[in-house]
Structure 1
């Protein structure tokens, strides 16, 4: 049954059927032809897949990111980041990386980071002489931090799918996120010096004190949201609601750039984005339930342990597999379907499930910037008003840099687990 379901799903993917629909149809085919269950079971399992309290954080973090974008928070974060690093050659490019890292600590979404930061940074980079393809590739790659720096929607999905602690996943994401941000920053600084880009990056930037004052409430937001989670005051779901309330208060009453007339459009975008993710979660939950009834995760774990033999070889094989999967399959679906299959084998090898979750999230996040279906590529190209073909010249360098980081994250577990062990052990 599992092989037939997988084959149907892959054929539907190849026919460009939407991911959620393809997974759902494959699962329904499995119920209809290989079990004696009535189809009402599909509706029951879809309900069970969605009836999980942590999943409520997803629409609220998406809404918070959209409110920040419209309410002026993202623009103030950019001004602050530029005040810090914009005075050197290539500083505006580094500002893109730094701002994405800060914005990611609130929005939890890579695509939201691409639009919110890219809408300001990409035109600024082009205006100062950076090639449009480079600007778009940089933005798409930097926005990957949106799913590595907590809070992270893919981390929430992995935690729910594998019964792993979401706060521990969040705290484990800081080290890898800072590593990727540092490597990307050093890369673009050297690249700009070699090509002579960014010599006028310091023009028109604010002083640090002025930018800090204007960005105070924006910078306070991740402190409140993440501080509540790590301090044990709130759950991630409760923190997501606080993020929405805070973004509303700051946008409407403090910065006064958010208008009541904006709210309909913001809520509409947030509902559509959330619905797509929840649809994928629902059908993938049904698919996973059928696989579990066939003991596919246990059998796969046994086969993987026998095949690879050592943890190092297993992680190498998993990374190669996930990198290919990420090119063609949406990140949320990949995590929900593959997490329960791959994680048990990782545990048998003695790999910490939190560490393995970070590896999965970072690897699959690369799928957002790799052709042919990288969603960040299309978002950044749309903002930059350029074609994917003009980004390809620069994109492999950014992908290679993140792959190097992935290798370090994979084989240096303390980078992910050091802070977690300090706080939770």
Structure 2
């Protein structure tokens, strides 16, 4: 790969080990290599950084983040939980099922895994603890259900992948529906067996549950009352995704619609947000959005340097020298991405590795939309795998337990999701069925 390439990755690794933020490490490593080599003008950094952020699809990210924060603060998440509880009842592991379904629906509003855990987990983890669930399991199932965020549309990770891969955001959104359902079903199944084995949701636990206060009210919420309370929250994903798939709005415009809708509902109908809350909500959203856009800027320049050094082509040629079997190549990429997800934040991993891996799989005839689903699902598993495992950290903090207390329960959940990953990897029709059907 050459001295320059080794220097680029060497500086990056050193900076990361020194705990320099990844976005700054990417930019610094790229700039140092450019300065040392002297063949690339420094103006390329400015041009690449600004042009990467000057993208209409990227505008959707801060708006979806803002919509998710408003809906979380405004009571939508809590009403979704009550509605799902009203028809799930006291089945074995019922609170786990409620967590999974509520997370699925909320992910279709917020597009973020961490936001889903923070919103749904903050409501249900204390409730599970009160009802006899082990703290480690309560944190694990909430964190795992939050991993639906990157693969259920409208996923922020999908938007970033689409921008980096120059593919359709709408196609990725549509493609994420069936894999998202498969992941949710897998979680429900493994939740049932764990709860059956551990005795969570047994008759004794159910009695405790019924004796406890409900999440919103002091009495059991009936189905129709819960439906009436949650109707505006349930309408949100229908409005957002229906507008996109119906060709009424683009994904970026749908993000704006989501913000306006959430403001109207949370201020005038639920009345849980007032003017004093706006500053905190907007500051939190701006902080998250700014962090992502800095990643985009730094990673784009890093990718430009990689392209100049022909590193993607080198990797493609190297792997082709080992094997041209798509089955083996996809298996190697899956293993690689699972390891990456253990150590690197999802946004950074997408921005860094999509330009590297896409040139390897495109010559093999792998559809970019299908490959995007493989990448996003791999990295969503990284949200529940140590040492990074941001979802596990959030769940552990809510449950007030050490991070390592979740490992016993997250292992079988990870195994179930790994099976789903392999199915989606090697059965592309699962991902491409809906895009091909709707696209004609």
**TM-score higher than 0.5:** yes
For 2:388 and 2:6, locate their aligned partners in 1 and report how far apart those are by CA, in whole Å. 24
1:208 to partner: Cα distance: 2.2
Structure 2 partner of 1:10: 13
* Equivalent position to 1:64, from 64, 67, 70: 67
Structure 1 partner of 2:266: 251
Structure 1 partner of 2:436: 421
For 1:285 and 1:109, locate their aligned partners in 2 and report how far apart those are by CA, in whole Å. 22
User: Unaligned regions of 5+ residues in structure 1, if any?
Assistant: none
- Equivalent residues of 1:305, 1:348 under 8 A apart: no
Q: Does 1:114 align with 2:117?
A: yes
For 2:320 and 2:176, locate their aligned partners in 1 and report how far apart those are by CA, in whole Å. 27
Q: How does 1:277-316 map to 2 (within 5 A)?
A: 277-316=292-331
How many residues matched? Answer: 425
Offset from partner CA, 1:304-334 (integer Å, 9 cap, x none)? 2332311111110000001111111111111
For 1:381 and 1:87, locate their aligned partners in 2 and report how far apart those are by CA, in whole Å. 25
1:392 to partner: Cα distance: 1.6
For 1:6 and 1:84, locate their aligned partners in 2 and report how far apart those are by CA, in whole Å. 53
For 1:4 and 1:402, locate their aligned partners in 2 and report how far apart those are by CA, in whole Å. 37
Q: Does 1:337 align with 2:352?
A: yes
Q: How does 1:24-103 map to 2 (within 5 A)?
A: 24-103=27-106
Structure 2 partner of 1:153: 156
Structure 2 partner of 1:401: 416
1:383 to partner: Cα distance: 1.4
Q: How does 1:196-275 map to 2 (within 5 A)?
A: 196-199=199-202, 200-201=205-206, 203=210, 205-275=220-290
For 1:2 and 1:49, locate their aligned partners in 2 and report how far apart those are by CA, in whole Å. 22
Secondary structure in 1 matching 2:248: coil
* Equivalent position to 1:365, from 380, 385, 395: 380
Offset from partner CA, 1:286-316 (integer Å, 9 cap, x none)? 1001111222223322332332311111110
For 1:139 and 1:239, locate their aligned partners in 2 and report how far apart those are by CA, in whole Å. 27
Offset from partner CA, 1:158-209 (integer Å, 9 cap, x none)? 1000101111011111111100100110111121122111134463543322
User: Unaligned regions of 5+ residues in structure 2, if any?
Assistant: 215-219
- Equivalent residues of 1:164, 1:354 under 8 A apart: yes
* Equivalent position to 2:368, from 349, 353, 372: 353
Offset from partner CA, 1:70-126 (integer Å, 9 cap, x none)? 111000111111122233121111100010000000100001001111110100100
* Equivalent position to 1:19, from 10, 18, 22: 22
1:2 to partner: Cα distance: 2.5
Q: Return 31-40 or 19-28, whichever deviates more.
A: 31-40
For 1:390 and 1:326, locate their aligned partners in 2 and report how far apart those are by CA, in whole Å. 20
When normalised by structure 1's length, the TM-score is: 0.97
For 1:32 and 1:81, locate their aligned partners in 2 and report how far apart those are by CA, in whole Å. 57
* Equivalent position to 2:128, from 125, 134, 143: 125
Q: CA RMSD in A?
A: 1.3
For 1:27 and 1:76, locate their aligned partners in 2 and report how far apart those are by CA, in whole Å. 47
For 1:311 and 1:189, locate their aligned partners in 2 and report how far apart those are by CA, in whole Å. 35
- Equivalent residues of 1:83, 1:206 under 8 A apart: yes
Structure 2 partner of 1:185: 188
When normalised by structure 2's length, the TM-score is: 0.94
Q: Return 196-205 or 118-127, whichever deviates more.
A: 196-205
Structure 2 partner of 1:379: 394
1:371 to partner: Cα distance: 0.7
- Equivalent residues of 1:157, 1:335 under 8 A apart: yes
Secondary structure in 2 matching 1:215: helix
For 1:29 and 1:160, locate their aligned partners in 2 and report how far apart those are by CA, in whole Å. 26
Q: Return 255-264 or 356-365, whichever deviates more.
A: 255-264
For 1:13 and 1:279, locate their aligned partners in 2 and report how far apart those are by CA, in whole Å. 16
